Amino acid sequence: MKQNMAPWDRGVRLVIAAILLFLVFGTYVHGAVAWILAVVGFIFMFTGLTGFCLLYALLKLSTIRDSSAE
């Protein structure tokens, strides 16, 4: 897996994941909404920690700046 996420992108995802998982495990949301937020939170946490986003790869996107263009 080649990384396709810039450090700022990873940081934003980790912050969002922390907020979503706090809402779920802090029992601020319940039912189906809690399950959806938990799944999205864990996906954001995984992509933030690994630096690889499958959706970016499928769409051939990357937030990493190409250093050879400078």
Span 15-30, pLDDT tens digits: 999 999 999 999 999 9
Question: Which amino acid, 25?
Answer: F
The whole-model pTM stands at 0.87
Q: Is residue 69 predicted with pLDDT exceeding 70?
A: no
Contact 10, 56 (CB under 8 A): no
**Backbone phi, psi, residue 12, to 5°:** -60, -45
Span 7-60, pLDDT tens digits: 999 999 999 999 999 999 999 999 999 999 999 999 999 999 999 999 999 999
